[in-house]
Structure 1
Amino acid sequence: MKKLLIISDKNEARSQMAEKWLNYYGKKHLKVYSAGINKGSISILAQKAMAEAVMDIPEYKSKLLSDLNEDTFDFVLCFDKGFSEKLPEFPGNPELSVFDVPNPAMVEGEENVKLQAYNVVCNAIDDACFIFMQKRFKIVQ
């Protein structure tokens, strides 16, 4: 089974969403991890957006890269193009994929406006994860 890491700054929203989608699409192919370089706390709006997509993540917690017991990965994914330029070196020369998905936490307004932004991001990450899996593992014939 291949190992995949989703890396982010604080492991608060996009990486958590991607972890759930990739666990769903890659259950027969991947062991999925997500972590941040810095410690954050998972966004309630990310949890709500995923729940609306019928992909609950209430048990997910923000994790630090330094806390993972894994030392090598086959794939590393990042959903923030700006942050991808700050990534550390990863042993084992994993395949790096970067997706430029906007940070929904940057959206201002009332909660319903913010939640809509998280829903858009949730859908974009779902699409990116499905395409990633299809290209590498042909999950749909």
Structure 2
Amino acid sequence: MKDRLKILFLCTGNSCRSQMAEGWVNHLKHNVIEARSAGIETHGLNPLAVISMAEAGVDISHHRSKLARDFVGEPWDFVVTVCGHAHETCPYFPGGVPIVHVGFDDPPALAKDEPTEEAAMTHYRRVRDEIRAFVESLPEILKNP
């Protein structure tokens, strides 16, 4: 019997979108997918991402920001980039690992000019829900692009 599918989610700073994706996979698909997340850089875990995921019943508060280069050489089935910058600068993964790009808006960038935290949270919640919908389509969507 094959082990769980291994997916690495990448974004620029591993602070928000890739963390949400990892959290959703571990919450919804842990029996069929092993997920990790990383960034081209590390920006630390975004507190509003943590809050938005907690609102949906997913605790990512124990996650930490990690670098993609720390995962090169591990046996991944797929690397999924969740932002354009990560897709453009994705490190080389030996062994012909398929790199799939599924872009999501950047909540921190969208929220930066919002007057209140509640207004900012509307962006985090929308992207959180979009990432959840993508994760719910896994692994079939990756196997049948």
The two structures have a TM-score, normalised by structure 2, of 0.85
Cross-structure match for 2:130: 124
Q: Quick one: which of 77, 88, 104 aligns to 1:74?
A: 77
Secondary structure, aligned partner of 1:38: coil
The separation in 1 between residues aligned to 2:141 and 2:39, in whole angstroms, is 26
Task: Describe the shift of the 1:8–1:136 C-alpha distance in structure 2 as closer, same or farther (beyond 3 A).
Answer: closer
CA shift, 1:100, in A, is 1.8
Cross-structure match for 2:7: 4
Secondary structure, aligned partner of 2:89: coil
Gaps of 5+ in 1: none
Task: Describe the shift of the 1:64–1:97 C-alpha distance in structure 2 as closer, same or farther (beyond 3 A).
Answer: same
Q: Does 1:112 align with 2:118?
A: yes
Q: Does 1:87 align with 2:93?
A: no
Indicate if the aligned counterparts of 1:72 and 1:90 stay in contact, CA closer than 8 A. Answer: no
Secondary structure, aligned partner of 1:83: helix
CA shift, 1:96, in A, is 2.1
Indicate if the aligned counterparts of 1:11 and 1:40 stay in contact, CA closer than 8 A. Answer: yes
Cross-structure match for 1:50: 53
Amino acid at match of 1:76: V
Secondary structure, aligned partner of 2:6: strand
Moved more, 77-86 or 112-121: 77-86
CA shift, 1:82, in A, is 3.9
Gaps of 5+ in 2: none
The separation in 1 between residues aligned to 2:24 and 2:129, in whole angstroms, is 10
Task: Describe the shift of the 1:70–1:33 C-alpha distance in structure 2 as closer, same or farther (beyond 3 A).
Answer: farther
Secondary structure, aligned partner of 1:115: helix
CA shift, 1:87, in A, is 1.1
CA shift, 1:44, in A, is 0.6
The separation in 1 between residues aligned to 2:28 and 2:51, in whole angstroms, is 20
The separation in 2 between residues aligned to 1:19 and 1:48, in whole angstroms, is 15
Cross-structure match for 2:33: 30
Indicate if the aligned counterparts of 1:40 and 1:62 stay in contact, CA closer than 8 A. Answer: yes
The separation in 2 between residues aligned to 1:136 and 1:38, in whole angstroms, is 25
The two structures have a TM-score, normalised by structure 1, of 0.87
CA shift, 1:41, in A, is 0.6
Amino acid at match of 1:30: I
Moved more, 81-90 or 121-130: 81-90
Q: What RMSD over aligned residues (CA atoms) do the two structures have, in Å?
A: 1.8
Percent same amino acid at aligned positions?
Answer: 29
